[in-house]
Amino acid sequence: MSELVTIFVDGAEIQTSPGKTVLQACDAVGVFIPRLCYRPDLIPAGRCRLCTVRINGRYAGACYTPVANGMVIEHQTPELQRDRARIIEMLFVEGNHICPECEKTGNCDLQACAYRLNMLAPTLPYRYVTRDIDATNPEVFIDRSRCILCGMCDVASRHVDKKTVFAFENRNGEMRIAVDSRKGLIGTPIRASDKAAQVCPVGSILIKGTAFQSPYGERTYDSRPIGADIEEASKIHGAVSVAEPEGNDQT
């Protein structure tokens, strides 16, 4: 194995192995950098930008930037914390996220990040968009009102399920997740057992018949905030552990 590299996160020295990304290195030692479009089992795409950190003076996404020896990373600065809260806020006002009526509530990464970053009520102007629901498929449905365009369903479908059920359509604020059939999801080979059906961090792609299965109090983020698993894992493994984190699989 090649030699360890040293990076500095908010002044703390972290030993990690080369080939990891900044986010993976931080996860391994229990430093949680908020994220919405990263999962350890998928190729990172850097879409949500929540994991923006300042690396050697330049802003970059922690999820895709590989570590390099001597890197100086600013993570918990008041400015970046505020930027992240604002990104969450932007996602809330861009779509239609009505937590009380959403079956993902309590298990939703967007909602959990909002609580964690103290974004309790958006003040930015809402877009009030009209977005459609695709309920054609007997197993899986999409509510585009809640889509945050993180692209994880697309990555999972292509690289894990080998199916290419999803792609994007349009650009700018008009961008939407598209499916590989004019008939909608029913015309695609997606199944509830697919990775693509299970990775949505919000309540946009949901599996039918599974709503509200855990009672209040037993949902993913009821007892501890998002990222707590990563922070706690490091207490068990020790502060300079380079082991892979468990990942915050919420399915």
Partner 1 sequence: MEETEIPSLVEKYNNSRTRLLDILQAVQNQYGMISESSIDQIATAMGIHRADVLDAVSFYSFFRRQGQGHASIRIPRCPACSAFESEQLAEKFQKTLGIKMGSTTSDSRFSLQWTSCIGLCDQGPAILVNGSVFTRLSPEKVDSITNKLKTTGILDHGQEFPQIQNACGPNSKVDSNIILPGPVFFQPIQKGAGLWKALSGSPERVIDEICSSRLRGRGGAGFPTANKWNLTRYSRNTAQRVVVGNADEGEPGTFKDRVLLSEAADLVFEGMTIAGYAIGAQEGIFYLRAEYAWLWPHLNEIITKRRTQHLLGDHVCGHENFHFDIRIQLGAGAYICGEETALLESSEGKRGAPRDRPPYPTDAGYLGKPTAVNNVETLACVTRILEKGSEWFTQYGTKDSVGTKLFSVSGDCDRPGIFEVPLGITVYDLLALAGAINSAAAMVSGPSGEIIGPKDFGRKLCHEDLRAGGSIMVFGQQRDLLAIVQEFQKFFSEESCGYCTPCRAGTPILETMFAKIVEGRGTHGDWEELLDFAGTVKRTSRCGLGQSAANPIVSTSRNFPELYQTRLQAVDFTSRVSLDEALADARQIMEKQI
Tokens of 30: 């229990």
Let me know how long the chain is.
251
- Contact set for partner 1, span 125-184 (CB under 8 A): 125, 127, 148-149, 164-175, 178-182
86 binds partner 1 (CB under 8 A): yes
| In the complex, least distance from residue 169 CB atom to partner 1, rounded to whole angstroms | 5
**How many residues sit close enough to partner 1 to count as binding (CB under 8 A)?**
43
| In the complex, least distance from residue 202 CB atom to partner 1, rounded to whole angstroms | 13
4-12, 123-131, 202-210, 216-224 -> range binding partner 1 (CB under 8 A): 123-131
CB-CB contact of 95 with 130 (8 Å): no
47 binds partner 1 (CB under 8 A): yes
Q: Which is nearer to partner 1, 90 or 242 (CB)?
A: 90
- Report how far residue 111's alpha carbon sits from residue 4's, in angstroms, rounded to the nearest whole number: 36
| In the complex, least distance from residue 44 CB atom to partner 1, rounded to whole angstroms | 8
Binding mask 189-228 for partner 1 (x = CB under 8 A): ----------------------------------------
Tokens of 27: 């996860």
Angle made by CA atoms 45, 147, 53, in degrees to the nearest 5: 40
- Distances in Å between the alpha carbon of 126 and those of 104, 129, 170, 225? 21, 9, 21, 26
CA dihedral 18, 19, 25, 27 (to 10 degrees): -150
- Report which DSSP code applies to 173: G
Q: Which is nearer to partner 1, 100 or 125 (CB)?
A: 125
- Report how far residue 64's alpha carbon sits from residue 53's, in angstroms, rounded to the nearest whole number: 11
Q: Which residues bind partner 1 (CB under 8 A)?
A: 46-50, 52, 59, 61, 64-66, 79-80, 82-83, 86-87, 90-91, 93-94, 124-125, 127, 148-149, 164-175, 178-182
